[in-house]
Amino acid sequence: MLNSSNTKTNQESPSSLIMKVGVATICRLVLNTARRFCYPFAPVLSRSLGVPLTAVTSLIAVNQSTAILGMFFGPLADRLGYRLMMLAGLTMLVGGMFAAGLFPFYGVLLVALFLAGMGKSIFDPAVQAYAGERVPFRRRALAIGFLEFAWAGSTLIGIPMVGLLIKEFGWRSPFFVMGGLGVIGIVLLRILMPPKEGGLQRRQQNFLGFRDSLKQLVVKRRALGALGLALFASIANDNLFVVYGAWIEKAFNLSIVALGLGTSVIGVAELLGETLTAALADRFGLKRSVALGLILSTICYGMLPFFGQTLPLALVGLFLIFLTFEFMIVTSLSLTTELLTGSRATMMAGYFATAGIGRVIGALIGGPIWLDGGIFATGLVSACFSGLALVSLSWGLHGWQKS
């Protein structure tokens, strides 16, 4: 199903490639869980460490900031090889998780989550670039969509498992489990991916240098358009994401348990969006699929005031928003892997870093906008930024075709 390209450097059996993508997906599930579990379990960490809740939210902010720093590792991945950087990312995860489990202090946890975040920020561009190099463009969305199952999986599988571990074995146990899974991932990737796998020598010969490699992100119109898409779409989504809980709690007087239903709805929507990317985007065309996802997202954001009339409508609205957003963002990842073929990891690292900046901006403006204008203002602002993402896509990729 995932056929290798016909070049001499990239020939391999479909079953081998599928196995590698599968193992990489499981590794990403662990990395994503390490990145996201602090959100729902912040009160638990606060009580266990004996620190204020604000101290734990600071941990989350430090963790998120690593997406921006990860941009500088993209050129290294293009120069040194995607395999090496994937292993480096998992090694950081392992070190951070075991440190937090063995030494339960706030300062150690701060460093541990920073390392876990850096591990994800290094691993993700490398594995996306690896798939972009080895999977034909006509099957790219299938491969990237499969890899992105790890994002929804962290919500639907990873975080619930962390909750069970905390309940049965204490708050330190998830760190040991995630560290152990990271070790297994390192071993499997070392076995499945030879040290000098096809394409590395060619990438090293064509490497532009650190500064010139990063420079391509702003001088290449198609790259700049993709960065703009990532920025504006992330602002739009986080502008809503940081207040959706407060919105439905206030509007419908929900309990904590009922609020968990909203998170489940979002997790299912993300999973379905990734499935639609894997199943349909290649057939429909990646550029058209991204544009369609942005158009539908913009419409759904604009309809938020209508969705807010009843709780069932609100849940349906959240489902549609995160479904269309996830379909769009995963498909855009598939498309972005082909925009700078000589510097794939640099392009992907830039994309993730810009999206991280967008999430920070969205989180900062989301609260004040909702407090001042309610869900009407939230929907309007998100719709406007989603529209800007569509404009950026159209401008950046005008006339571009896969060569």
Residue 262 pLDDT greater than 90, yes or no: no
Q: What is the mean pLDDT of residues 379-396?
A: 96
How high is the pLDDT of residue 36? 82
Confidence label for 258 from pLDDT (cuts 50, 70 and 90): low
Total number of residues shown for the chain:
403
How many whole angstroms separate alpha carbon 382 and alpha carbon 238? 9
How high is the pLDDT of residue 366? 86
Confidence label for 261 from pLDDT (cuts 50, 70 and 90): low
- pLDDT tens string 303-344: 998 988 888 898 899 999 999 999 999 999 999 988 888 788
Q: What is the DSSP letter of 278?
A: I
- Residues 79/345, Cβ–Cβ less than 8 Å: no
Percentage above 70 pLDDT, the chain: 90
How high is the pLDDT of residue 8? 41
Q: Does domain 211-396 have CATH number 1.10.15.40?
A: no
Query: CA torsion 18→21→22→25, rounded to 10°?
Result: -160
| The CATH number of the domain covering residues in 8-207 | 1.20.1250.20
> Which pTM value belongs to this model?
0.81
Q: What is the DSSP letter of 198?
A: T
How high is the pLDDT of residue 9? 41
The pair phi, psi for residue 199, each rounded to 5°, is 100, -20
How many whole angstroms separate alpha carbon 153 and alpha carbon 139? 22
Confidence label for 294 from pLDDT (cuts 50, 70 and 90): very high
- pLDDT tens string 10-68: 456 778 888 998 999 999 999 999 988 887 787 788 888 888 877 877 777 777 778 78
Q: Among candidates 366, 371, 372, 289, which has minimal Cα distance to 326?
A: 289
How many whole angstroms separate alpha carbon 73 and alpha carbon 293? 29
β strands within 218-314, DSSP E:
none
Residue 403 pLDDT greater than 80, yes or no: no
For residue 220, CA distances in Å to 182, 213, 395 come to 36, 11, 12
How high is the pLDDT of residue 391? 97
Q: Among candidates 331, 344, 229, which has minimal Cα distance to 283?
A: 331
Non-local (6+) Cβ contacts of 276 within 8 A are 145, 323, 327
How high is the pLDDT of residue 201? 52
- pLDDT tens string 168-182: 898 999 999 999 999
How many whole angstroms separate alpha carbon 35 and alpha carbon 176? 15
Sorted by where each begins, the domain ranges of the chain are 8-207, 211-396
Q: What is the mean pLDDT of residues 272-289?
A: 90
Residue 392 pLDDT greater than 80, yes or no: yes
Q: What is the mean pLDDT of residues 67-73?
A: 80
Q: What is the mean pLDDT of residues 377-400?
A: 93
What integer best gives the mean pLDDT of the chain? Answer: 85
How many whole angstroms separate alpha carbon 192 and alpha carbon 188? 6
- pLDDT tens string 136-157: 888 888 888 889 888 888 888 8
Residue 158 pLDDT greater than 80, yes or no: yes
